[in-house]
Amino acid sequence: MGSNPIPSAISLMPTYYLWNIGCQMNKAESDQLAECLDGVGYRRLARPDDADLVLLNTCVVRGNAEERVRGELSRLKGLKALRPGMSVAVTGCFVGGGLEELRERFPHVDLFFPAGQVALFRDWLSERVATGCHGAGVSLSAGPAAPAAYVPIIRGCNNFCSYCIVPYRRGREISLSPEEVVARVQDLAGRGAREVTLLGQNVNSYGKDLLSRADLTDLLAQVNGVPGIERIRFLTSHPRDVDEKFVDAMARLDRVCKWISLPVQAGDDRVLQAMRRGYTVEEYRRLVKRMRARIPGLALSTDVIVGFPGETEADFGRTVALLSELRFDTVHVAAYSVRPGTLAARTMPDDVLPEQKGRRLQEIEEMQERISAELNSSLVGKRVEVLVERRAKGKWEGRTRTNKLVFFSDAGEWTGRLADVEVTSASPWSLQGKVALRTEVGAR
Ligand code: SAM
Ligand code: SF4
Ligand code: F3S
């Protein structure tokens, strides 16, 4: 009498802990792994200590990311010694080609699987579920989707920028078919997603490996027609592969957000060439100007590496000058980090001192803080459309179509809805506002 069957049923469910670092691609793949585990009845825990399965999704883009991964692996070694029944699976860019070597070096890891190989994990998991390991496996239907979801459209990278480890860890480019992408977007829309970000290391290379030769422009046109999807983004664009047809589509398609991440990496031609980026500063500048002329209100984000081998003060000064001329909405700046196996690691001495790298990084961050503050302040008093993603610390949080983070207070329920918000104040990183219209805006 009075006993509630639910808590005991929950306590019988197998549990998992998922650790994720890295870029949006990793986040998207972690979401797929979590969906897979939730689907066979696993319950997610916030800590690894009591979990039946611990899953690490790793990044090695810079040395400090790799150190975090190694730290996590050694922590789990201790945990597994205490609880031998626990399983450990590791994926992401830490897992390269030599799986045998990894297994030998980390014997406490039960499964290594390369980034994006969700099917491998699914097979491993279904074997364990079938053999009764970690519980019986109750098939559940997929739950609601987040208002803004990620959709990988192309895996791997063919570019081999001289500093970058990604092509060595994620392999060559493989595009999903437009049918697969559209089906995924439709599924997400059916479960409540209103925004999708199409992901790839270079989305503008999408389709080059497909028989149909469908390209990103064709794909955007198809996704633009999916009912329920109000906003489409894509990430990341390689400046060399952005063509006129694509710029036209961006300008024309109403669901496509006027926002692009276009990493420049450096503002000096010699450095760009040593990086093997495939464009000059002038070509990049002209592209940005053409895009801004064709797409009014376009918001731009870029990535920069400081302290690349051989980067002089004068070279660095040209990067600063370019950023100050083009005035990006956001800049992600990183200090160059030697990555084993890359062309730069093999042939170019890491000759910029750590303190010089640190100072250059800080100089760009300070300049960009000023620029972002000025650009964001110009929005005060204006009304912006915000797709609300969550409630955090008593405020609604969402993004504008130009990818600016907005917070506002309101008594209503706004998660997953489009709000018309009047901007009341701005900082370099976000906007604050108040709801201008009580009802949802813009939905079709
Ligand atoms: N494919 C995208 C591109 O072309 O920019 C993103 C690649 S990477 C995952 C994200 C960013 O990390 C790069 O844009 C670059 O600025 C930075 N990055 C990559 N390798 C690096 C390295 N060895 N040292 C410092 N930053 C690096
Ligand atoms: Fe790395 Fe260059 Fe590929 Fe981006 S385009 S993932 S920076 S090799
Ligand atoms: Fe890291 Fe791999 Fe992304 S190295 S940044 S997780 S592509």
Which pLDDT tens digit goes with each residue over 409-443?
A: 999 999 999 999 999 999 999 999 999 987 777 65
pLDDT digits (tens, 9 = 90+) for 321-376: 999 999 999 999 999 999 999 999 999 999 999 999 999 999 999 999 999 999 99
| Per-residue pLDDT at 135 exceeds 70 | no
Of all protein residues, whose CA lies closest to atom 4 belonging to ligand 2?
201
Q: Distance from the CA of 30 to the center of ligand 1, in angstroms?
A: 20
- Of 327, 361, 377, which residue constitutes the final position of a domain? 377
| Residue 444 counted as domain residue | no
Please check whether residue 56 is in contact with residue 19, taking contact to mean a CB–CB distance below 8 angstroms.
yes
Assess whether 347 and 402 both reside in one domain. no
Confidence tier at 6 by pLDDT (50, 70, 90): low
* Residue with CA at minimum distance from ligand 2 atom 5: 159
**117 and 36 in one domain?**
yes
Both tokens assigned to 266: 């450096």
Residue 1 lies in a domain: no
Name residue, tokens 């479960």.
191
What is the dihedral angle through the alpha carbons of 345, 349, 351, 353, rounded to the nearest 10 degrees? 40
Eight-class DSSP state of 239? G
371 plus 430 within the same structural domain = no
**How far apart are the CA of 201 and the centre of ligand 3, in A?**
9
202 plus 229 within the same structural domain: yes
Last residue of a domain, one of 331, 347, 377: 377
Compute the distance from residue 140 Cα to the ligand 2 centre, in Å: 38
Whether residue 251 sits in one domain with residue 313 = yes
**b/e map 322-341, b = 16+ CB within 10 Å:** bbeebebbbbebbbbbbbee
Q: Whose CA is nearest to atom 21 of ligand 1?
A: 164
Please indicate, yes or no, whether residues 72 and 155 belong to a single structural domain of this protein: no
pLDDT for position 75 = 95
Residue 291 has pLDDT above 90, yes or no: yes
The mean pLDDT of 134-162, rounded to a whole number, is 83
Alpha helices in 117-171 (DSSP H): 118-130, 166-170
Question: If DSSP codes are grouped into helix, strand and coil, which group holds residue 202?
Answer: coil
* Cα four-point dihedral sign 166, 167, 169, 172: positive
Ligand 2 midpoint to CA 162 (Å): 9
CB 235 within 8 A of CB 202: no
| 203 in contact with ligand 1, CB cutoff 6 A | no
Q: How far apart are CA 400 and CA 391, in angstroms?
A: 16
Q: Which pair of tokens denotes residue 143? A: 């739950």
Q: Which of these three, 361, 377, 393, is where a domain ends? A: 377
Residue 280 and residue 185 share a domain? yes
CA 432/CA 14 separation, integer angstroms:
42
* 262 within domain boundaries: yes
Distance 238 CA to ligand 1 centre (A): 11
Instruction: Give the binding-site residues of ligand 3, using a 6 Å CB cut-off.
Output: 22-23, 25-26, 59-61, 92-93, 166, 170
Ligand 2 surroundings by CB, under 6 angstroms: 157, 159-161, 164, 166-167, 201-202, 238
State whether 391 and 340 are in the same domain: no
Cα(63)–Cα(257) distance, integer angstroms: 34
Is residue 356 situated within a structural domain?
yes
- Residue 429, domain extent: 383-435
319 with 408, same domain: the answer is no
First-residue to last-residue Cα distance in the chain? 51
Q: What is the distance in A from the centroid of ligand 2 to the CA of 294?
A: 27
pLDDT tens digits, one per residue of 209-228: 999 999 999 999 999 999 99
- The closest ligand to the CA of 65 turns out to be 3
What is residue 3's predicted lDDT score, i.e. its pLDDT?
A: 47
CATH of the domain at 152: 3.80.30.20
Which tens digit of pLDDT belongs to each residue from 245-259? Answer: 999 999 999 999 999
219 plus 327 within the same structural domain: yes
- Provide DSSP, 290-310: HHHHHSTT-EEEEEEEES-TT
**Residue with CA nearest ligand 1 atom 6:** 201
Measured by CA distance, the residue closest to atom 20 of ligand 1 is 164
Closest protein CA for atom 13 of ligand 1 = 303
CATH of the domain at 123: 3.40.50.2300
| Residue whose C-alpha is closest to residue 62's, from 344, 270, 315 | 344
Q: Is the Cβ–Cβ distance between 172 and 158 less than 8 Å?
A: yes
3-state DSSP assignment of residue 261: strand
Q: Do 317 and 402 have their domain in common?
A: no
The structure's pTM equals 0.94
Ligand 2 midpoint to CA 378 (Å): 33
Instruction: State how many domains the chain has.
Output: 3
Ligand 2 geometric centre to CA of 424 (Å):
38
What band does 8 get if pLDDT is binned at 50, 70 and 90?
A: low
Average pLDDT over residues 37-42: 91
Q: Is residue 44 part of a domain?
A: yes
| 112 lies in some domain | yes
Determine whether the shortest distance from the Cβ of 26 to ligand 1 is under 6 A: no
Could you tell me if 330 and 358 lie in one domain?
A: yes
Is residue 72 within 8 Å of 36, Cβ to Cβ?
Answer: no
